Amino acid sequence: MLHWHELHAVARNLVASADRSVLVVSPFIKRAALGHLLGSVSAGVELVAYTRWRADEVARGVSDLGVLGDVQAAGGALRLIDELHAKLVLVDGTRALVGSANVTSAGLGLSAAPNLELMSRINLDPAAASLLQAELRSRSRRATLAEADAMKLAADALAPDLQDNDPDAQEPNAERMGEQPPAWIPRFRSPDRLFSLYRDPEWLSSARPSDLALADILQLQIPAALERRAFDDLVRARLLGTPAVRTIEAALGQPQRFGALTEVLRSVMPDTSHEHRQAALQVLLRWLLYFAGDRFRMDTPNYSEIVSLR
């Protein structure tokens, strides 16, 4: 169902129906709008809110640092994602309201001059919801009073020089657009266990951001609820497309010893130690032999590891 009028009532009613959990995701959160939602949260319901704090946006007044205390007073946790742009209210892990509205008076239609926003009620597949929440945790940090204080000082310093425009409509700056993420190389040492973990909602709900399996699943950007064959095919395709694998494959015009391939990886990992590249190659070869064993092979004559193409 699509909503664009009285979004504050639609969102509040959804939150009021929660039995176990409420998750709020919004780049901009204002105290009045958040208070409207939190007033309907039942006792004992777990609350987590995700937002972003940028000094220019705080200075313009589109976000309130005071929401940290409000969320904590409600027994919840506030977490920060610097690159956040999504808007979502998720109840009990499955029922959601998604669309364009931030948790602000203008966004939810509480102000005299509200924005025109669109929000849809949807039911999320539990596997998709678990994977989404795992990524939110992995990409976020817990908001603290110290960071709020530092952000206020930065915002106060910027305020006199800022023009009155909408930061939500700004394009990413050239410096941020030009950044290149580091080349991904898998770090989880048991690729044979990856699918079972990916399909385990309990593990996804409890895995820490530092968990190497979770980090690799998120880096691969795997859609939720794939069956085994589709999962393996997708991981294989994305693995073979990485700079590290393309570099190794180009070096395998003839069989290569493990030590030689460690040096080949230097072009992909120029700022790492020889030992780090050795460890990375060990894991990478495990993944290649598991997901692309029809293409790569490794033999151990006289205890030497020789890698070649089939």
Query: Which candidate, 48, 218, 202, 50, places its Cα nearest to that of 126?
Result: 202
Query: Who's near 171: CB < 8 A, 6+ residues apart?
Result: none
In the chain, what percentage of residues exceed pLDDT 90?
Answer: 85
Out of 123, 143, 163, a domain closes at 163
Q: Are residues 198 and 157 in the same domain?
A: no
Give the bridge partners for 306, in sequence order: 257, 299
Alpha-carbon separation of residue 230 from 58, 227, 236 (angstroms): 44, 6, 10
Statement: residue 181 has pLDDT above 70: no
Q: What is the token pair recorded at 128?
A: 């998709």
297 and 207 within one domain: yes
* Same domain, residue pair 220 and 268: yes
Domain assignment present for 112: yes
Domain presence at residue 148: yes
**pLDDT-derived band at 176, boundaries 50, 70, 90:** very low
pLDDT at 177: 40
pLDDT for the residue 26: 98
Question: How do residues 54-111 score in pLDDT, each as one tens digit?
Answer: 999 999 999 999 999 999 999 999 999 999 999 999 999 999 999 999 999 999 999 9
Q: Is the pLDDT of residue 178 over 50?
A: no
pTM to 2 decimal places: 0.82
Residue 238's CB is within 10 A of a number of other CB atoms, namely 16
Residue 180 included in any domain: no
Q: Which domain holds residue 64?
A: 2-163
Question: In this structure, are 135 and 217 located in the same domain?
Answer: no
- Are residues 110 and 29 part of one domain? yes
Q: How many CA atoms lie within 13 A of 118 on its CB side?
A: 2
What tens digit of pLDDT does each residue of 149-173 get?
Answer: 999 999 999 887 765 554 444 444 4
Query: For residue 7, with 0-12 CB atoms within 10 Å meaning exposed, 13-18 middle and 19 or more buried, which class applies?
Result: buried
| 231 in the same domain as 116 | no
Radius of gyration of the chain (CA): 24
Residue 274: CATH number of its domain: 1.10.10.10
Residue 175 pLDDT greater than 50, yes or no: no
293 plus 248 within the same structural domain: yes
Question: 240 with 283, same domain?
Answer: yes
